[in-house]
Structure 1
């Protein structure tokens, strides 16, 4: 049994943590690569510019790969034979170098610190000359090279059997040798030579080797326009198909824009990406939505204007017709007694007052709607203002058997308001409650503090209203009872004026219905 058999497996892992290090490192690298790929793909997905750059790079890489492969294939098919003499010249140089190495001072290695006897040195020189002679015979017989050893002036002091020259021009030979090697491709058959400085019989000399280089047949890859043309066509085709989806999306956006421009504001373009095109689609939809809302508001304003003209014409015409009728009776003296004439005159006067009140309400509403009336705000305790107003309504309420139930806190709630305008709001709400409450009845007035706002509630028992009627209560000339006119009710502008005044104070006004009670509430910001 192993001596580690009693050790827990996890303990064995902790004992040899280094065995897991390569795997953890590999796992970390893989996770890092995945996170980097997700990050880059996210960046590319949000940028159309990066998408085009990646697409261009991909198409270019594919085209270069195609060009390389097609060049190799077509170049191999269209190979052309080429005769060159470079390898032959190289062989002449190799032969000259081998023979020059024999004549070099360090060819036979020996300890230079040891003094050689004259007999030993003579023996070494003899061996060198013999070996050099054998090498010359081999090269001159097999390769038919001309081999010569000259002194520094160019006079031949040793030559191969197939050589007839007795001297050479050293300067011309060096130039010819350099010109031959300077040529990149030797395709013309011509004599090549190689010249090496050597030591021959203990004297400086030149080794000259020349000959006609042997030809070598090689195959040169042919050239074809197809790889270049094919790579260009492949780039165009790949770029077209890769960008086709984006181009279709752009065309779709253009078509959607044309549809919206023709007036179909209900049309929307799809938002299919997170890049600039997706942002463009989102802005186009937002533009269509705002245009639609603006047009609807303009249509509603036009409709309300027409309704205003119609309602004003009706409400002005009714009292004006009565006034004209009674004045005509008075003018024609079509009455029996002075008492009847005074009655006619009183009715005409009352109708004139009604007409004047309607015109004043209409003028006030128009100015408030266009914010032409400046607000003279001042700080005041909302509690005191309500108490004062309620005291003024006590007597009219008692006459109509209505009880005013107050729930006003003692804590002073200060607001910054135009007192005259806000009194008009509260008087309108209290007047409506008093006018339309059942007799006998109760009107409840309460006030609470809610965070940074003061809220006033005025409620009374009333008939059940529909949701649509509740929403239209603050519209101008709206009356719950359609048969009610300015003779039996108000001008229909009171609640609309109240709403405009409250909103001008950056507050809000609303209505709610609960347990058979209609409650109006006003929310004002505390000072």
Structure 2
């Protein structure tokens, strides 16, 4: 829609106010004298006076109507819409205007409303996700708690009447308490990544060192399954800006997941190298890989591919989600795929320390 600036509009209004009385005066003079020669005197001035007043009134009516239609009504509608938005109703309709400044405010208003709608929808989705996470975690916490309570009651009531049974009961209690600790830690980290979107410690971190620490952390579990973890080092520092604790948490989740779903005597290959302005890391295993459904949903909160195996390993379904969020908060991304040799392939990138994100 073609618009004009308010300065031109004001000049046009003044032009109408000044021109109409003059046109009416000339017209009345012509009717009286049958000539456009203003030097000829009419018999009566009353007709010219009435014509001038009529032209002046008509010009005021035209200007008033135009100002009301293109300035006052849009401003009144915007004021009413602002009150409507304050009451939580985002379903608004604003009239258009041919005045550029009003049109710009109109467009800005619509952009704001669209942004508020998206924000409101995102808030609803986050609230639904929060409730879902709490319900699911509460359900997952109940299973090891019941088992822990049952074994403790067995010890208390003397059911474990031999040193071997007592040792077995204590070992199960230890495993269940460790499972509870993992569940609570996952929930805490997930909540932290949700609430502290951009607030985290920013220091220079060598990602290859973080990966090596994570490998050391999951090595006991890998040794139990006779899984080999092989890290390829390229002799260069892969320094990024970020929170070393959060990054290590992300890598722990990814490697822990790889170890859990790699069969006994399998292998896991880890790489970390620079590529342009990014640090690239990959974790490749010799497991069964992801199904097509898993590839689409692997980073969803509480999604579980291979549900039974997740229950056996005590997973709550937040590890991959947490890792994805942490990597994205550091300006990077994490994707899942299947490599050509079979098995899962997790690839991530984070900007180098000398690159801004």
TM-score, reference length from structure 1? 0.54
1:228 match: 52
Matched, 1:58 2:16: yes
Aligned partners of 1:292 and 1:242: how far apart in 2? Answer: 33
Matched, 1:282 2:83: no
What is the SS of the residue equivalent to 1:434? helix
2:38 match: none
Superposition pairs of residues 321-336 of structure 1, within 5 angstroms: 321-334=146-159
Count of aligned pairs: 339
Aligned partners of 1:450 and 1:356: how far apart in 2? Answer: 37
Aligned partners of 2:146 and 2:156: how far apart in 1? Answer: 15
Matched, 1:347 2:172: yes
Q: 1:465 aligns with which of 292, 307, 315?
A: 292
Give ranges in structure 1 of 5+ residues lacking alignment: 1-41, 77-217
Aligned partners of 1:453 and 1:357: how far apart in 2? Answer: 31
**Structure possessing the higher radius of gyration over alpha carbons:** 1
What is the SS of the residue equivalent to 1:221? coil
Superposition pairs of residues 332-481 of structure 1, within 5 angstroms: 332-334=157-159, 337=162, 339-371=164-196, 375=201, 377-378=203-204, 380=206, 382-383=207-208, 386=211, 400=225, 402=227, 404=229, 406-438=231-263, 441-460=266-285, 461=287, 462-466=289-293, 469-470=294-295, 472-481=297-306
Aligned partners of 2:30 and 2:199: how far apart in 1? Answer: 88
Aligned partners of 1:471 and 1:252: how far apart in 2? Answer: 48
* Structure 1 position 66, deviation (Å): 0.8
Q: 1:524 aligns with which of 350, 353, 357?
A: 350
What is the SS of the residue equivalent to 1:239? helix
Residues 146-166 of structure 1: per-residue CA shift (max 9 Å, x gap): xxxxxxxxxxxxxxxxxxxxx
Aligned partners of 1:399 and 1:346: how far apart in 2? Answer: 16
Aligned partners of 1:427 and 1:312: how far apart in 2? Answer: 20
Residues 224-262 of structure 1: per-residue CA shift (max 9 Å, x gap): 453233223321343356557526972895498279636
Change (3 A) 1:389 1:321: closer
* Structure 1 position 328, deviation (Å): 2.3
Q: Is the CA contact 1:406–1:445 (under 8 Å) kept in the aligned structure 2?
A: yes
Q: Is the CA contact 2:332–2:348 (under 8 Å) kept in the aligned structure 1?
A: yes
Deviates more, 1:334-343 or 1:323-332: 334-343
* Structure 1 position 388, deviation (Å): 6.6
Aligned Cα RMSD in Å?
Answer: 3.9
Residues 448-501 of structure 1: per-residue CA shift (max 9 Å, x gap): 4222221111133503233xx546433443322455655434233323333444
Q: Is the CA contact 2:328–2:334 (under 8 Å) kept in the aligned structure 1?
A: no
Matched, 1:73 2:31: yes
Aligned partners of 2:79 and 2:205: how far apart in 1? Answer: 58
Aligned partners of 1:484 and 1:398: how far apart in 2? Answer: 19
What is the SS of the residue equivalent to 1:523? strand
TM-score, reference length from structure 2? 0.76
* Structure 1 position 264, deviation (Å): 5.0
Matched, 1:509 2:333: yes
1:33 match: none
Change (3 A) 1:257 1:309: same
Q: Which has the higher helix share?
A: 2
Change (3 A) 1:484 1:273: farther
Give ranges in structure 2 of 5+ residues lacking alignment: 35-40
Change (3 A) 1:63 1:260: same
Q: Is the CA contact 1:376–1:417 (under 8 Å) kept in the aligned structure 2?
A: yes
Residues 374-402 of structure 1: per-residue CA shift (max 9 Å, x gap): 6373454x445546765776786576465
What is the SS of the residue equivalent to 1:265? coil
Q: Is the CA contact 1:269–1:281 (under 8 Å) kept in the aligned structure 2?
A: yes
Residues 341-361 of structure 1: per-residue CA shift (max 9 Å, x gap): 443333223212211232233
Residues 293-347 of structure 1: per-residue CA shift (max 9 Å, x gap): 2211221222122123212211221111111222223333345655434433332
Aligned partners of 1:390 and 1:485: how far apart in 2? Answer: 21
Q: Is the CA contact 1:474–1:499 (under 8 Å) kept in the aligned structure 2?
A: yes
Q: Is the CA contact 1:509–1:520 (under 8 Å) kept in the aligned structure 2?
A: no
